[in-house]
Amino acid sequence: MLKIHNLHVKLEEEDKQILNGLSLEVPAGQVHAIMGPNGSGKSTLSYVLSGRDGYVVTEGDATLDGDSLLEMEPEQRAAAGLFLAFQYPVEIPGVGNMTFLRTAVNAQRKARGEDEMSSGEFLKAVREKAKDLQIDAEMLKRPMNVGFSGGEKKRNEILQMAMLAPRMCIMDETDSGLDVDAMRLVSDGVNALRSPDRSFLVITHYQRLLNHIQPDVVHIMSNGRIVKSGGPELALQVEEEGYGDLLAEAG
């Protein structure tokens, strides 16, 4: 599914290397977590995979089902089945949530050469998903993320994910802003959407989020690369001992 090989990334604006030979494989149906101290490059990894400007890949590759993501435009990545949920979801004041979601779904269909969904079809599908995920359909009428609470933003993100039905979901769910309830929403959402042909890469600073998600593999990132990988017990070890010993041991 997702294969990242020896990825080196630097900033476009300054000569600063952020990812230093990061390698990682997430097979179909698995949930992997990336943990690591602040500044280790976790968010940079998700930005680079999403195709955000400002980063230059100097070496290595990232492929989804064998196709290089790095050569694709962001819409093509979405069409290929990649979904990225971010730490700070954007607010778009003039755009209704429903409109945004329908545009995203239809852009994905178009990039795949499929017919657009009519507004009737879309409405039916979105109501069904909202119901399954216990999301109040009223939220869909509001402007995109504007004035949403942390929990509402998370609900919205899970709904987007359900509608786009990605094969590979990357979620940067860092520390700040995720209270216990929002964390619960994220983990329930991930668990509800887990399936044998869908994978998740959940990036988090804290172990708490992983209490409910139960990742198959936990990776520890430091200085722009993965320095250790293991089972869920690795997250517990971080919680108990911090990163100090783990990083020293990994060299």
Based on the shown chain and the rule CB under 5 A, indicate whether residue 50 belongs to the binding site for Mg ion: no
Give the C-alpha distances (Å, rounded to integers) separating 45 from 17, 61, 197, 203, 207: 12, 12, 23, 10, 19
Torsion of CA 84, 88, 93, 96, to 10 degrees: 40
CB of 1 to ligand ADP, least distance (A): 23
3-state secondary structure 22-57: EEEEECCCCEEEEECCCCCCHHHHHHHHHCCCCEEE
Residue 141 Rama label (left phi>0; alpha psi -120 to 50; beta): alpha
Q: Rule CB under 5 A: choose which of 20, 43, 106, 229 binds Mg ion.
A: 43
Among Mg ion, ligand ADP, none, residue 215 binds (CB under 5-8 Å by kind): none
Side by side, the strands of the sheet bearing 217-222 are 82-85, 168-172, 199-203, 31-35, 217-222, 225-230
Euclidean distance between CA atoms 61 and 21, whole angstroms: 10
Size of the site for ligand ADP (CB under 6 A): 11
Residue 38 or residue 68: which is nearer to ligand ADP going by CB? Answer: 38
Query: Closest by alpha carbon to 154, among 182, 122, 115, 129?
Result: 182
Residue 17 or residue 43: which is nearer to Mg ion going by CB? Answer: 43
Residue 160 or residue 174: which is nearer to Mg ion going by CB? Answer: 174
Residue 140 or residue 238: which is nearer to Mg ion going by CB? Answer: 238
Based on the shown chain and the rule CB under 6 A, indicate whether residue 146 belongs to the binding site for ligand ADP: no
Residues 140-199 that bind Mg ion (CB under 5 A): 174
Residue 54 or residue 242: which is nearer to ligand ADP going by CB? Answer: 54
CB of 53 to ligand ADP, least distance (A): 10
Facing residues of 19 across strands? 9
Give the C-alpha distances (Å, rounded to integers) separating 109 from 10, 104, 165: 33, 9, 11
Based on the shown chain and the rule CB under 5 A, indicate whether residue 40 belongs to the binding site for Mg ion: no
Residue 8 or residue 194: which is nearer to ligand ADP going by CB? Answer: 8
Among ligand ADP, Mg ion, none, residue 99 binds (CB under 5-8 Å by kind): none
Residues 201-230 that bind Mg ion (CB under 5 A): none
Residues 3-62 that bind ligand ADP (CB under 6 A): 11, 18, 36, 38-44, 54
* Contact status, residue 25 vs residue 157, Cβ threshold 8 Å: no
Site residues for ligand ADP per CB under 6 A = 11, 18, 36, 38-44, 54
Site residues for Mg ion per CB under 5 A = 38, 42-43, 174
